Structure 1
């Protein structure tokens, strides 16, 4: 069976890359023929021009290398929804998911692509762990929302990653999706990245937002744990910190998997800390995207690893204790099996 997947596959964010890889890996291991629909989101920043220029070439080169090594084949490049509608990928099934693919603030003019509004109506459509990344729907145009409702009702199977997404679907579009795990959880391991690694006495920091609070209190975290910090995603070398930019996917995965402690504000930073049984602390950014992390740690009983700021974290001692992963592994395994069965059943019903 031929499956065409659309997601945010082209990104400097390693979490976005790994959720793409995770879903493709799971489906390919089950024997399906997978193709990525090559629609790319712009990742604009407010950085100086020379920084943008350097990142364009260096990050672009790194991304191309990772795609060549880890991704399945890509379709032709689509620059608009209209191009996608005029020449849709040939497949038995379209799948959309997972990372904030239904967030209009991100998808913008490509929004309809991620609602699978292209291709023959005879091609089956599945949503796997699609995320809105917002708690309230921002589009008020009645005709747009009616079209989204129509599309959702045409899906063979509809699922979301967060409970807020389920509630949003029920309240705005009159459909009730299933809540499943992020696709990175579908695979039992990622030995192709982590085989043979040994724990290192380092703190790995994968923090998307480097706030004043972070720079003020990170040295205190170093002192408390007596370990150096490696920063995986900062544009410039910083005195007092080990530095890698841009890390390859290999390096990013091996760094998280081998760390003694992970400090992050990233959903996938938390996910791969859990999958690799690493001690971690997660810092909230106080925006709608926090719901992803809050949902996950609450479900696994790890909410004591979640803090509003580094300052708050340092006022507590819970983050210094080892996580008892044995106590939550049965719950993780149960949810993984439920998510795997949902997706395979959806595909087999085609």
Structure 2
């Protein structure tokens, strides 16, 4: 039995990060491999935004206080803090991830991905700039990626911060490169001269709704709309519009993943229960990549709000627009929340979406089989 490691964003307290890691693990286990998650050493961010070590303690305090600055019901804020504090303890064991870090193990194969493992030009101190995410000093006989993404990192940013040559040399050492979006593919081609394979996020490839026995059946007495967005990213004007829209449609607003000013309930649940809530929802409003994916795999009516990247600030335009275009769901995107009313009135032809998904699932499994069984 081959020993395969996955280096991903598995320790991030986030439903999308958890479910993509779990899905990739299951896909590789289907190939009769023993799977373990591999950690990387967090480096100093390339973009310094008060990221000096002397500010770390203050930043932790600020992060804790940030929740109370968001406009949301006080009880939701307390629930959100408990959700964040307990996430790792409750759900990491389901991935086989413990508190003890697993650095640089000896492996038959190391798979780097999925998620934004290559998003190295950013200021997130939880990730930083780590060349281990590009395979440096690994102890694997074979090195590949699966649906890796540069996120907001562009070739221009890599060149601006003088990281293009370093990253390019490491990418050339991979046995096989798989990306999930055009921006990432373009960077790989320009830095290595190789054409990468395109694969979708594992949450779309692993058929959760048919194959996962951990998704419960939920019974709710009320009809609801899911607002799936990070806390603080829905503006006051957007929240006010969503509140009025939900009242007009006689729907409660369930906030998942982040607290929201307009929410009737904040749902603190397991990652698998998230899919159950999506499965029962009347409709979804989201501004996240995985919120869009959860809607798609549960065949839910949804609208995705697009946020443009401005300078070094973090947006979602690149990754979400690429995903939805691949599944021919371009019309579900908007930059104006008022468009939700018209977008969610239009039915989605999920028969056609599933036909596309099945083709992507086949090619993804073939990619993994070829590189892990060969």
In which range does the TM-score fall when normalised by the shorter chain? Answer: 0.7 to 0.9
Q: 1:194 to 1:142 in 2, by over 3 A?
A: closer
Cα deviation 1:309-334 (Å, max 9, x = unaligned): 212334xx232122121132211111
Q: 1:321 to 1:95 in 2, by over 3 A?
A: same
Q: 1:347 to 1:12 in 2, by over 3 A?
A: same
Q: TM-score, normalised by structure 1?
A: 0.85
Is the contact made by 1:35 and 1:74 (CA closer than 8 Å) also made in structure 2?
Answer: no
Query: After superposition, where does 1:157-306 map in structure 2 within 5 Å?
Result: 157-190=176-209, 191-197=212-218, 201-208=223-230, 209-235=233-259, 238=261, 241-244=264-267, 246-287=268-309, 288-306=315-333
TM-aligned CA deviation for residue 58 of structure 1: 4.8
Query: After superposition, where does 1:74-223 map in structure 2 within 5 Å?
Result: 76-77=100-101, 84=103, 88-104=104-120, 105=122, 106=124, 109-120=128-139, 123-134=141-152, 136-137=154-155, 138-140=157-159, 144-190=163-209, 191-197=212-218, 201-208=223-230, 209-223=233-247
Q: 1:76 to 1:322 in 2, by over 3 A?
A: same
TM-aligned CA deviation for residue 136 of structure 1: 1.9
Q: 1:23 to 1:304 in 2, by over 3 A?
A: same
Is the contact made by 1:22 and 1:187 (CA closer than 8 Å) also made in structure 2?
Answer: yes
Is the contact made by 2:114 and 2:149 (CA closer than 8 Å) also made in structure 1?
Answer: yes
SS of the aligned residue for 1:320 comes to coil
Tell me which residue corresponds to 2:351: 326
Distance 1:232 1:147 in 2: 39
Q: 1:261 to 1:143 in 2, by over 3 A?
A: closer
1:24 equivalent to 2:49? Answer no
Q: Which moved more, 1:151-160 or 1:184-193?
A: 184-193
CA RMSD of aligned residues (A): 2.9
Distance 1:275 1:320 in 2: 19
SS of the aligned residue for 2:87 comes to helix
Count residues with an aligned counterpart.
335
Q: 1:247 to 1:210 in 2, by over 3 A?
A: farther
SS of the aligned residue for 1:77 comes to coil
Unaligned runs of 5+ in 2: 44-55, 69-76, 310-314
Q: 1:318 to 1:20 in 2, by over 3 A?
A: same
Cα deviation 1:118-165 (Å, max 9, x = unaligned): 223x62101000000126232338984333223222212101000111
Q: TM-score, normalised by structure 2?
A: 0.80
Distance 1:257 1:290 in 2: 25
Query: After superposition, where does 1:2-13 map in structure 2 within 5 Å?
Result: 2-13=3-14
Is the contact made by 2:306 and 2:335 (CA closer than 8 Å) also made in structure 1?
Answer: yes
Is the contact made by 1:12 and 1:59 (CA closer than 8 Å) also made in structure 2?
Answer: yes
Q: Which moved more, 1:128-137 or 1:55-64?
A: 55-64
Tell me which residue corresponds to 2:373: 348
